[in-house]
Each structure stands twice: as C-alpha cells, then as structure tokens.
Amino acid sequence: MISAGDFRNGLSFEMDGQVFQVVEFQHVKPGKGAAFVRTKYRNVKTGAVVERSFNPSDKFERAQLDRRDMTYLYNDGDLYHFMDSTTYDQIPIGAAKIGDTLKYVKENMVCKVLSYKGEVFGIEPPIFVELLITECEPGVKGDTAQSATKLATVETGATIKVPLFINQGETIRIDTRTGEYMERV
C-alpha cells in the first residue's frame, strides 16, 4: 500500500479498479486547515488526465507496470507487430492502443511495450531517433531575424519543422516526446 503523501512523478497506483500514473503532484499545507496533495494523474489505459486533491493519509494499492524492450517489426493494416528480443515471441498490437506514438519509429527500432497484468496498453518510443529527410523545400534566405524554420518530411512520413540550412537527404536527430528537431547527424 502507498499513501497519497508518498506520491512522486511516474508512480503507478490502483484506484476504483483502474490504473493511474502520477504526472504531477504538489504537497500543499495551507495556513488554515489540513494539508492535502494536489495531483494530476493519467489513466494508463485510456490516457485521460485528471486533476484531483487527496488527503495525504489516503491509501492506494501500488500498481506494477511491465515495461519490456521489444523490436518494432512491421505494420499490417490496423495491427503493429513487435518481437521480444530475448524470447523471439511476436505480439500484434492494435492501432487504437498505439495512437500516434510510432510517428517517428521505423522498422527494427527497439521500443518499450507497456503492459499491466499481461494486457498491453501502450508503447514508449525511444527518446531520440535519427531519421533521413525524404522531402524538403530548399531554404530561402531572407527574414532570418528570428529562428526561421521550414517543413520537412522524414522517412516515416512524419512532418516536422527544421532550420533553413537542413536539406533533403540529410539525417537528423528528433526528440520523440516533443517532435522537435534536435541536431544534424
């Protein structure tokens, strides 16, 4: 059991038959009244984020989430196939559970497959990926008083903003959490 006073970012807990993960927390001790814990948490299955205040003594069951490294193999319509690198077991995961998390992931990249009690509920792509730019307009000199950017399409089909000096055929590093250009490789 874990109390609300022990909440930390990333901690998983069960409440009302659902599994939640703490996104943000703040211990509040007002001048008058009892202390409380202001919490923002995410339902790991639906992705819904909720804000709520808890009494620090409220008790919850700790949830053990399983994160396994698996290799993304291929997409077959609405199914995405992953392989466990140690046992070579392959599992198909539906597009509804993945959403757009594989926007920057190409075949044979290792991702973390998230599951709770054997049921897969999500994918964590690598934090940084290196992708080839397949389509990009040439940079135009001119208004560069600000950091000027242009749109580029990478080999997975995703479109991101890159600086003007980046050209088609170059490989760049992308932060998958924000979808931002990091550097040229």
Is residue 47 scored above 70 in pLDDT?
yes
Identify the pLDDT of residue 142.
63
Identify the pLDDT of residue 155.
93
Is residue 144 scored above 70 in pLDDT?
no
pLDDT digits (tens, 9 = 90+) for 62-80: 988 888 999 999 998 889 9
Question: What domains are there in the chain, each with its CATH number?
Answer: 2-62 (2.30.30.30), 66-124 (2.40.50.140), 128-184 (2.40.50.140)
User: 95: pLDDT confidence band, cut at 50, 70 and 90?
Assistant: confident
Looking at the chain, which runs of residues are DSSP E strands? 2-3, 12-15, 18-28, 36-43, 49-54, 59-62, 66-76, 79-84, 90-94, 110-116, 119-124, 128-136, 149-154, 159-163, 171-175, 180-184
Ranges 63-72, 120-129, 136-145: which has the least confidence: 136-145
For the chain, report the end-to-end CA distance as a whole number of angstroms.
47
Dihedral-angle region of residue 164 (phi above 0 means left; psi in -120 to 50 means alpha; beta otherwise): alpha
* pTM score of the predicted model: 0.72
User: 17: pLDDT confidence band, cut at 50, 70 and 90?
Assistant: confident
Is residue 61 scored above 80 in pLDDT?
yes
| 169 closest CA partner among 181, 184, 179 | 184
Identify the pLDDT of residue 15.
92
Is residue 145 scored above 70 in pLDDT?
no
